[in-house]
Every structure is written in structure tokens, then in C-alpha cells.
Amino acid sequence: MRGVVVTAVSAVMLGALPAVAGGGPVALADSAGAAAKTLTQEQSAAARAAATGERVEVVGERTEYSTTYAEPDGMSFTLDQSAVPVRVQRADGSWAAPDPTLEVRSDGSVGPKAAVAGLAFSGGGAGSGLVSISRGGKSLSLGWPGSLPKPVLDGASATYPNIFDGVDLRLTASTEGFSELLVVKTPQAAADPGLRRIEFALSADGLTVAPSGGGGMTAVDADGRAVFSAPAAVMWDSQGDDPVGQRGSSTASKSAGATAGNRSLSPASPGTDPAVDAAGGLPAPSAGGADDPAAGPGDGDVSKVLPVQVDEDSLAVVPDAGLLANPDSSAFPIYIDPSVGLSQTARTQMRSDGVTDFEFDNGSNNEGKGVGHCSNYDGVYCGTDYTERIYYQFSPSNLAGKKVLDATFRDTESWSFTCNAAWLDLERTSNITSSTTWAGRPNNLGTVASRDVSAGRGSACSPSQPAAPIEFHDSRLTQQVADFAAGSFDRLTLLIKARDESATSDWKRFRNDASLSVTYVGLPAAPTGIGVPAGSGVSCETNAADPQVIGDTTPSLTAKTAMAPGGGSEVNLRIRFDVQHKNPDSTWSEIASAVRPMSGYITKVGATETDPYPGTLTDGGNYRLAAFTRSYYNDGASFVESHSNVATVGWCYFRVDSTAPKAPKVTVAAPYSECLANACAAAGGPGTGAAFSFAPASGDTTNIAYEYKLSSSPAWSKPVNGATVHVTVTPRLAGTQQLMVRAEDGAGWGASQPFLFSVKEGQGPVGLWHFDDGVAGSATTTATDTATEGARHNATLFTAGAGWSTFARRGSADQSLWLNDTTNTANQAGYAATTQSAVNTQSSFTVSTWAYLTENSVYRTAVSQTSSDGSGFSLYYSPGIQRWVFLWSWKENGTLHQLGANGSAPVPLKAWTHLTGVYDRDDQTITLYVNGKAQGGPVALSTTALAGASDGALQFGRRQTTTPGTYTDYWQGRVDETAIWQRPLTDDEIATDDAMNDAADTPAVEMVADWNPDGASGTTLADTTSGYARSLSLTGGASLDGQALVLNGTSGAASTPGPVVDGTASFTATTLADLDSAALAKKPAGYTAQLIGQRSSGGSSWGVWYQLTSVETEPDPDGGPDLTVPHGYWWFGRLNADDSFTGVKSDELADLGSPVRLTGTYDAPSDTVHLYVGGTENAVDTTHLPYSADPGTGSFTVSEAQRAGEADWGHYVPGKITDIRLWAGAMNAQQVGSLDD
């Protein structure tokens, strides 16, 4: 029977356990007797490993599939990641050994003692509760269309006898899931009408279920990640069964070809001793007794693949009528195996006769599966002349942020034909799935290790050769794992094969307990807080033309250590300071490269390292500073060095001038005060200014002007003239703020010194509506105001045109306000409203909302508030100018006046856009922000443009006309996350609001498209997961092969009317692409291919691209003929008219030959783009550069694009794409890294 496998990262095989670090933080004192400090579990394990000389497990890093150890050098770690579970976590957090043995539970259900999936079988009774399986709060349940008898338990199996007359149903648990088997015992039983179509009731919670490639099924979560999956069902008879003890070989497949059992090898001649063949003296490979015919079809059995039929509420298979109609009783029992599975980390055995065993187990004999040529050898019968291979596939998530130092692959060889060693090759291949068969087996991408071994013969050999883990260790494997960890390809798939696949004597068996053991050290990141200390702060001027001025020729240098995401907390770090001097010809020369501390290490991420410059600088000289983080390993003999601050913020420029004015004296009036070493009281708030005074430093008498800037501002203020001056400084963000001030004396600007003060959080919103109160179709009509400031103003939904929608900006668990999005003309006046005014429009205020507009032929209002005198505001869409508008209305001398702040870009339909309007009563201005950015400067209002009253209700989805009590401009689409503040938010606060970060600083994202070609066919690829229901239409040389979108590279493409995302809003786009290396090698150098992207009116708005830079001839690493290899890079951004890119480029050449996960994000408030290859961010040296977004109101396309000026489509992709997903909102690095979890 086929196993069910929980979606999880690959895990670790445990051997003898070393010393273990305890589960909690540990307090240790340093060697000098200082106060004890609390260590993380990583640090504690590393300290114990260094002290004992033995590796120590980091218990806190345990998963069901992986184990992490601190190595004796106290610096590096080893991750063991296994293909099967090595432990199971109980509900109380404790760990247990995996055990699929079934037991009856207190509620009457039946389940395994310890499994990684929550699993429950029926204890008998109503068939609706046949089986349920859950993982991570998401579940799948199957029901039987009738009552169930009480099951008979036998180990991991529960048999429900005679569910039809002469038909048993057997459910078998594994440590990762379950399988099902119908046992049809006689021809008479096979005639039961219930077997013509076997249908299980299906229900899913938090999952979308759909067909997959090869006749299987898949269940994905709201972000499109597979949680459960299954290969096609299989049916087989018993025509090949021999008498007990004389069955033929091992096993046919359980998935895409036929199923595989775990049958023993047997002597070729009936009647010989099954333990020892008299002719050859070869012990049989198993002492496990007779084979189980229910384990899968054996030699001579007739088998059929049965595609699984899936719809919203059922899962069904249609058995082969010919097999059921066989009147020969010797062909029975017939077995029907409609299994359901879960899988991400995958393993499979494939045979050259078409048999496949996906997620194979070791069988009752614990021998596993074979590799090599299976026939007859020296009197022992293996099989009917076929070749077998075993594949394992690993996920990279646990390796993110790691520098791979070494890698070893292990798998247990349980049996071999002879005592003589035979060569095995470990090869990297392209990926496997549940539908992969021998005919479509993965491409070989090179041998990474080899072993000449024999094991499993036991005492038949001298010395004895028991079953043993076979280790594959080679620098080639380490390099591939390093590339894998860096994200160069999506999955690491390794093949075990016999080197000589024609020699049956070289055939071996391997268990499924393979593991990948990776020794690593955390990757450092570019330091932060780099610069020259000044007072209580740090200064880093990145403008070479305007360097920081210091008066000290022996300044201190400072920086904070940093680690890449996933790099860990146990660190041994140093900072390298690099100082360069500007030469007379304007070139730069390095004058110092100092690594600090000189002894010992910095063991805390984010720790500040401050050291004096190692020498004396020249008075009057110009200098620049860069800093790098180093992460040490190998007892300190080796290190990994990060990028420097040049890659993130730029060089820190400074000039030594002892004659320039010293840093001025700074004082501040209420509400703020200077932060001292032990006192830093927060006061005021964003947008609340205070009076600051700047005066000459002691001894300076020639100051004539001052400049200042906050750390959140890139530019200095205009000069303020005077020997002593007073200015108002208004902070834009809460938290500790750094004010830089410098003085001029006529000869130039002098030294600056930070002045630190703390700003309180600003007043929160006075109204906040999440619109998550009801679900689609519910009778709920109240939208709760969840703000905590002031009085509450709940809103009521009115008319049939108002309701709730699962399209919601905070993601899968959210809802939004649905308004009038229907063709029903009777439902076009839906809205929601409060009963009173929610904000005082006679004072400063800010209003924001997320808008999803679906129709733009008329004016559409998202939110408004109009008072009895006609004054107030509205945020709306104008069809005349095709822009968003923030409109201010007021009545003056009996006449209504209106003035608007308009958006600067066309409005996209069916895309989430963030709108913010600010009315500043003090400055008498209005400002519109779209996606966190001001649309031009503030619009000045006349001094008489005031609200005469503030007594109107807040309206969602309409606005009042000039006649009080009548309304117009009804919204069509969705409105979500509306908030109102009784103050003008600052630009920075609006940018923060746009990001929608939660308490853990994780941005909210809403999946708006998910195109998964697994199981798809025809000329249309539907999105069945996100709910937005866009379909890709295939054109030219594009096709769906049931597993991928296949593109011919010359005309093949797919598209959907766009936009899918607002190109000026934050968004995330990801794809999994496997490009055709041979086809690319035939393209000219410079060829650009767009994998996915969105059009603008002038060409490319944005896209994920491949750019071919050259075609090279390289030697075959396996000794074959030279290879023709395309070299190129990945890009995320926009292709310009001159074939250049605006965007970010991958750090390394694109890895071709297997799928690569490529993810691009655009952050609107900061105008930056980010490219991730795998889960690793690339191009960190350019992501800080501004990126000019394009609205992108055109179609979304796959494998075709037009740059500006091109009349025809082009830029086609040769290869396969297996995943396309898009989200509103820019994911952070951790979210991107989890896309394949």
C-alpha cells in the first residue's frame, strides 16, 4: 500500500546520540568571573561541545525530520536532515519515537501511537468519519458511503471487514500518514455495483483540493503550498501469486506505474532452502517470512493505474472493469488502492519496466528497495530483467543563511548479492514528483560522489558484512549542497544507482532512512551602525562631496555585527574596518584594514564594536570607511566575510579638519529632552515639533550659520544664519531620534554631533474598521470599530449590495467589505455607514483605506464624510481623469466649493491599492497618498476653506450630493482596513501604515493569483486557489503536460487580462522555472526572456527575467564530450527600450537543469526592489537604490513581453514553469524563505 506523507522539510537520521544541551537558556560566567550571562541554546551547546571535545545536540533546533549539533570547535554546526521522520512531537511538546502501531483512543477513534500527522481512523459506525488527517491546523477528511463495522486492528492496519459482501477495507497508518486498500476476495464480490465507482466523501479545512499530474491529487493552503498530495490509485490482481514461500521478487510500484510491495528475493528453483541456496551458498536477503500480496503487485500480477477523480466534496476512483470481470478465482483477491498522501520531501524508486514506488517504505522485512539490474544471479531470482533506481529529494529551508562547509549523504545498504564490493554512483538530478516515472525520469546533472562497497551479507562474508549506512562524501557533493543552500535551485534531488546497470551481481537493497548531513557556519551580513562615533551617536555621511568633518586625527571607528536571516545566534564574529584615503588625483587608496577585536570574538548579533583607528590620520585629509562582518570557524583558522556597508548604504565619508568649528551645543525645549546614558524619556509624538537652540561650542567664536537634519532625512536643512539660532524641528517617527547639527564659520562646515531624544508613539486611530465581522453570505450587518482612542463608531451594512468578501488585504483568514460587485442592477446601491461623525473635520485628520475597484465607468467613492453644511472629504475614483482624488469640500458665502488632490498615475482595476488623505488644519493643506507615497506636494487651501460643521456620518462606498440626505457615486468592488486619525500622519507614519506589519514586524500579504499546472491540461490554466479566479490562456507553442506549463521558446506563452497587482503598490511575485539549457544555447548572446511579468502602456512594467550573456564550451564533469553551456543571470525589474534593465540582478550565473525558485518583491514606500533566488536575497548591493515603479495596467504574461518601442511580442522562454503566485504586499526575507515549506 502506498504511504501518505506529511508536507515538511527534510529531516535527520539519528545515530548514537551525543551529549545533549538542555532545553532552556543556560547562564554561564565568563573566565574573568564576570556576572553570569544567559546563553541561547546554540551558544550553550557550542560551549559544551568545545569543553568536552564531542558534538552536542542543540535540542531547541529539533524537528521531526532534523537534528542539529554543535561541533567540538565551538563554532560550526551540523544539520542532519532525513528523508523520513526520526521523532514525533507530542501535544505537550515532548518527543517520542515514531510508531505507527494503532491504538483505540478515548473518543472511540483509532490512531497511531506516534506520527507526524494528526491521524484518526473510524472506530466503526457512521461512515462519514472514516479517516481524518491534519497538519499545521489544516485538515482533510474522507467518508465512506455507508456504515462501518468495528475495525480489526493488526499493528499499523485497521481492517473493516465486509464493507461490501466479500470486500474488506484496510487502512494502514505510517509515521507520515496513511493508505487505503480495498480487498476484493472473489469474482462474486467483484460483481457488486458498489465497486463500479468507489467514491469517498471529501471535506477540507483550510485547504483547496484539486487533481494533480499523473492522475493524483493535491491539497494546498491559502498561499498555494502543498500540504497533502497523492499519486494515482492502483489496482492489481493475484494472477502472479505463487504458493507461500515461493513468491517472486520485489515489488511493483504504488504510484504512477503500478504499486510496489516489499517482497523478498527468493531462490530461483522451487524447493530450495529459502535461507541458503544450495548451488551458490547465497543467503536470502530477508528473514521476514512470506511476502504480503497486499503490499503491491508482484511478478505476473496484472495491474492498472486508476486516476483519482477529485471535486469539491468527493474523491473517487473507477476500478478497471476488465479486472473485476475476470471469472478466474485464482486471480483473486483483487486489490484496489486509492491512497491519499502528503508530501514535500520526496523519495521514490523507479524501475525500467515502468513500475514506480513513490514514498516507499521498508516493508515487513526492513530491507527497503533495490538499485541496479534485477534478474537472476548464481541461482537466486531477483526479478524479470529490469533496472531499479532510488531518488531522494530535500528541501533547502533549514539551510537558509548558512555557509556550507561540508556535506555527506548516507543511506543504509541492507543487502547485496555478493561479498564483493561494487561501485555505486550518487548523482544530482532534476526534481521528482508523485507522477514521475521511468519514461519521464529526471535528467542527470552530474555525479557528485561514488562508493565501492558491499553490505548486508552478514556472516556469509568474512569478515561479516551487516547492513550499514553507506556514506557518500565528496567535494562535488559539498559544492552542490552549497549551491542548494544559496538558493541556486529549488530542490536537491539525489539518485543512488549502480554504476554497472547490466550486472545483476551489483544489485543491492537500500532502506528509506537516507539523510543529508551538512556542516555549516552562519553567514554574516553587512554591519549596521557604521561610522565615526560622535558624542552619544554615530555619524555616517554617504555623500562624497559633503563628508563628515572631525577634528581628531585618531578617531574611533564603530559598527554593529549582523547575520543573514537564518544564520543563527551562536556566532564568533569580528569586524573588519577598511579605511581609504583620497589621493590628489581623486582616486582612493587603502591605508588601513583592521580586524577587531584582535583576540577573542564578538558572540552577540547586533553587538557594537568600537575601536580607535590604528594609526594617525592627516589633518586636512579626506577619508572613507567601510566595515565587514566576519564569521569564524575551524577553531578560528577560517572565516566567511560579508558584504560591506558599501553594498547597503554606501561608503562613510569624513574629513579631518582640526580648524573647523566643533560640534555645536544643542538644547531643546519641551516636550522633548536629551537622552542621557541612563535616562531617555519619550515625549511628544510624530508630527509634534519642539524648539531647538544651536550655539557655538566652547572656544568657537566665528560661527555664522547652522544646518541640521534628522536621521530619517537624507539632506541637511537650509542654512540658518546667526551665531546662536532657534529652530522648530518636527520628528516624523516614534522612537529614539538622532538630530545632527553642524556650524559654519565662513571657511566651511564643521563637525557634527548627534543629539538624541525620544519620541512617543503618536495617538492611534480614532476609528478602525477591519471588516472581518462576517463571512460571505452571512446575515451579519455590523462592522465593528476596533480603535481604542475616543468613542466607538460601528458601521451598519445597508441593502443587498453590501456584504462580506474573502478578498481581503490581510490575507487568507481575513474578510473585507463587499459592495455592489455584481451584474444585478437591483444591487448597485450597497454601502455601510456610521450613525455619527467618526472624525472631527474641523481639525487636522488622516483617513486611509485599502481599495479594490472592479468597475470604472463612473465616479466611485471608497469613503467619505460630509456634514450638514456640505463640508467634508471624500476619497474617490474620477473617470474623467482616471485618477484617485482626495476631495475637500467647504461652504463659503453660501456657495459650495471643492478642491482635490489628485493621483499621479492611472488607476488599476481589480488590484489592491492603498489610499490615504491628510488634512492639515495648521498648514491648511490636503495631501493624497497612493500606496504610501505622496502624489505631488500638499495642495494649499485658502484660509477660508474650513469645515463649518462636523456632524455627518462616515460613509463607506458612497458620498453625499449637494442635496443633504441624497447620495451618489456608489463603490463597486471591495473596501478594507479603513482607519481615521485625529491628526495629520507624517510621511513616515503613512509608509508604515502601508506596510501593514503585525506585532512581529511581518508584512500582511494577500495572495491574488496562484497558477499551478499540476494535473492541468488543455489551453487554459485556471487559478483555483486564490479565489480571484483569473485564468491564463495559452498561445503559440505553449502546452500543459499535467505537471508543468511547457514553453517552446519561440512562440509559447500564456496571459490573462491585467493588471493582477497594482505596479505602484507593494507586491510579491514568485515562479518556479526549469529552463531548457540546450534551447538557450542556441539563442544569441544578450537574449532576454521574461518568465512572468506585467505590461504597461509603454512596454514592460515589471518582470522576472533571464538574460543570456554568453554560450561557453565546458568539460563534462563525468568525462563525456564537452558541453555547450549557456551563461546568464536572473533579473527582477523592467526591461528598457535600449535592452538595459532597471532592477536587480542575481549574484551568480543562473543554475540550469532543474527548477529554480525566483521571487521578486517591490516595496512601494521605499521604492526598492528585491530579488530572491531560492530563499536567498541577491543583489544586496543595489536594492537600496531607488526604483521607479510603473503602474502596469496591461496584461499579465508568461514567456512573452514587449519592451518600449517593440511592435511585436518576443522574449520567449524555453523550458517549463511549475508554479506562479502573486501577492499584494511585499514579503520579507523570512516569508520568502517559507514559500516552499
Nearest to 511 by CA among 430, 425, 390, 428: 390
| Confidence label for 933 from pLDDT (cuts 50, 70 and 90) | very high
pLDDT digits (tens, 9 = 90+) for 278-303: 333 444 444 333 357 787 777 788 88
745/799 same-domain check? no
The mean predicted confidence, pLDDT, of the chain is 88
Nearest to 1198 by CA among 1087, 1005, 1060, 1025: 1060
Q: Is 90 exceeded by the pLDDT of residue 391?
A: yes
**Alpha-carbon distance 453 to 470, whole Å?**
8
Amino acid letter, 1130? W
Helix-then-strand count for the chain, H and E: 7, 91
| Residue 856: count of CB within 10 angstroms of its CB | 17
Q: How far is CA 864 from CA 476, 519, 763, 847, 968, in A?
A: 64, 60, 22, 9, 11
pLDDT digits (tens, 9 = 90+) for 151-169: 999 999 999 999 999 999 9
Are 147 and 159 a contacting pair, CB within 8 Å? no
1128/1098 same-domain check? yes
Q: Please report whether residue 449 resides in a domain.
A: no
Q: Is 60 exceeded by the pLDDT of residue 509?
A: yes
**Alpha-carbon distance 496 to 669, whole Å?**
74
- In angstroms, how far is CA 1217 from the centroid of its own chain? 17
Q: Please report whether residue 920 resides in a domain.
A: yes
pLDDT digits (tens, 9 = 90+) for 316-372: 999 999 999 999 999 999 999 876 555 546 899 999 988 888 888 888 788 999 999
**Per-residue model confidence (pLDDT) at position 177:** 84
Q: Which of 598, 625, 656 is the last residue of a domain?
A: 656
252-256, 435-439, 441-445, 554-558: segment of lowest average pLDDT: 252-256
CA-angle at 481, arms to 477 and 487, nearest 5°: 150
| Residue 328: count of CB within 10 angstroms of its CB | 10
Q: Please report whether residue 1129 resides in a domain.
A: yes
CATH number of residue 691's parent domain: 2.60.40.10
**Alpha-carbon distance 822 to 402, whole Å?**
51
φ, ψ of residue 1169 to 5 degrees: the values are: -115, 150
Percent of the chain with pLDDT over 70: 92
708/740 same-domain check? yes
Nearest to 443 by CA among 408, 495, 407: 495
544/651 same-domain check? yes
φ, ψ of residue 1131 to 5 degrees: the values are: -135, 150
**Alpha-carbon distance 635 to 76, whole Å?**
9
φ, ψ of residue 558 to 5 degrees: the values are: -140, 155
Domain residues for 1015?
A: 1006-1233
Q: Please report whether residue 827 resides in a domain.
A: yes
950/815 same-domain check? yes
**Per-residue model confidence (pLDDT) at position 220:** 87
pLDDT digits (tens, 9 = 90+) for 776-788: 989 999 999 999 9
689/635 same-domain check? no
Q: Please report whether residue 1190 resides in a domain.
A: yes
Pick 493 or 400 by higher pLDDT.
493
- In angstroms, how far is CA 12 from the centroid of its own chain? 22
**Alpha-carbon distance 1216 to 1013, whole Å?**
10
751/772 same-domain check? no
Q: What is the DSSP string of 1098-1135?
A: TEEEEEEEEEEEEEEEE--TTSSS-EEEEEEEEEEEEE
pLDDT digits (tens, 9 = 90+) for 1101-1133: 999 999 999 999 988 877 788 889 999 999 999
**Per-residue model confidence (pLDDT) at position 219:** 87
Q: Which of 656, 683, 706 is the last residue of a domain?
A: 656
Question: How many Cα neighbours within 13 Å face the side chain of 126?
Answer: 4
HEC string of 525-580?
CCCEEEEEEECCEEECECCCCCCEEECCCCCEEEEECCECCCCCCCCCEEEEEEEE
804/919 same-domain check? yes
CATH number of residue 590's parent domain: 2.60.40
Q: Is 60 exceeded by the pLDDT of residue 150?
A: yes
1009 contacts: CB under 8 Å, gap ≥ 6? 1023, 1026, 1028, 1030, 1060, 1196, 1220, 1221, 1222
pLDDT digits (tens, 9 = 90+) for 1203-1218: 877 878 899 999 999 9
CATH number of residue 1192's parent domain: 2.60.120.200
**Alpha-carbon distance 650 to 128, whole Å?**
64
CA-angle at 787, arms to 846 and 947, nearest 5°: 35
C-alpha cell at 985: 500622519
**Per-residue model confidence (pLDDT) at position 1153:** 86
1133/1224 same-domain check? yes
Nearest to 795 by CA among 808, 787, 785: 785
Q: Please report whether residue 1184 resides in a domain.
A: yes
**Alpha-carbon distance 874 to 863, whole Å?**
6
Q: What is the DSSP string of 497-535?
A: EES-TT-GGG-EEE-S--EEEEEEEEPB---EEEEEEET
Are 768 and 725 a contacting pair, CB within 8 Å? no
Pick 364 or 412 by higher pLDDT.
412
Q: Which of 743, 759, 775 is the last residue of a domain?
A: 759
Q: Please report whether residue 520 resides in a domain.
A: no
Give me the residues paired with residue 1026 across strands.
none
HEC string of 986-1011?
CHHHHHHHHHCECCCCCECCEEEEEE
1079/1210 same-domain check? yes
933/1050 same-domain check? no
Number of domains in the chain: 4
Q: What is the DSSP string of 1124-1185?
A: EEEEEEEEEEEE-TTS-EEEEE-SSPPP-SS-EEEEEEEETTTTEEEEEETTEEE-TTTTTS
Handedness of CA 479, 484, 488, 489 (dihedral sign): positive
677 contacts: CB under 8 Å, gap ≥ 6? 536
Q: Give me the torsion for CA of 715, 721, 722, 727, rounded to 10°.
A: -50
| Residue 638: count of CB within 10 angstroms of its CB | 15
CA-angle at 763, arms to 758 and 769, nearest 5°: 140
Q: Is 90 exceeded by the pLDDT of residue 1175?
A: no
| Confidence label for 479 from pLDDT (cuts 50, 70 and 90) | very high
Are 306 and 213 a contacting pair, CB within 8 Å? no
pLDDT digits (tens, 9 = 90+) for 786-807: 999 999 999 999 999 999 999 9
273-277, 546-550, 1062-1066, 1224-1228: segment of lowest average pLDDT: 273-277
CA-angle at 58, arms to 56 and 63, nearest 5°: 130
**Per-residue model confidence (pLDDT) at position 14:** 26
**Alpha-carbon distance 1154 to 490, whole Å?**
8
| Confidence label for 12 from pLDDT (cuts 50, 70 and 90) | very low
Nearest to 362 by CA among 451, 495, 250: 250
**Alpha-carbon distance 1174 to 1237, whole Å?**
12
**Per-residue model confidence (pLDDT) at position 270:** 33
Q: Give me the torsion for CA of 261, 264, 266, 272, rounded to 10°.
A: -130
Question: How many Cα neighbours within 13 Å face the side chain of 517?
Answer: 19
**Alpha-carbon distance 1189 to 1161, whole Å?**
12
Q: Is 50 exceeded by the pLDDT of residue 562?
A: yes
Give the N- to C-terminal CA distance of the chain in Å, as an integer.
26
Nearest to 945 by CA among 923, 963, 915: 923
**Alpha-carbon distance 86 to 395, whole Å?**
16
**Alpha-carbon distance 431 to 759, whole Å?**
53
**Per-residue model confidence (pLDDT) at position 278:** 31
pLDDT digits (tens, 9 = 90+) for 1145-1155: 999 999 998 89
892/1038 same-domain check? no
pLDDT digits (tens, 9 = 90+) for 170-203: 999 988 888 899 999 999 999 999 999 999 999 9
**Per-residue model confidence (pLDDT) at position 1184:** 59
- In angstroms, how far is CA 998 from the centroid of its own chain? 17
Handedness of CA 338, 343, 348, 350 (dihedral sign): positive
Q: Is 80 exceeded by the pLDDT of residue 734?
A: yes
Percent helix, strand, coil in the chain, to 5, is: 5, 45, 50
Q: Please report whether residue 150 resides in a domain.
A: no
- In angstroms, how far is CA 1212 from the centroid of its own chain? 27
C-alpha cell at 1012: 499551478
| Residue 631: count of CB within 10 angstroms of its CB | 27
| Confidence label for 31 from pLDDT (cuts 50, 70 and 90) | very low
**Alpha-carbon distance 240 to 296, whole Å?**
11
φ, ψ of residue 260 to 5 degrees: the values are: -120, 135
Give me the residues paired with residue 83 across strands.
none
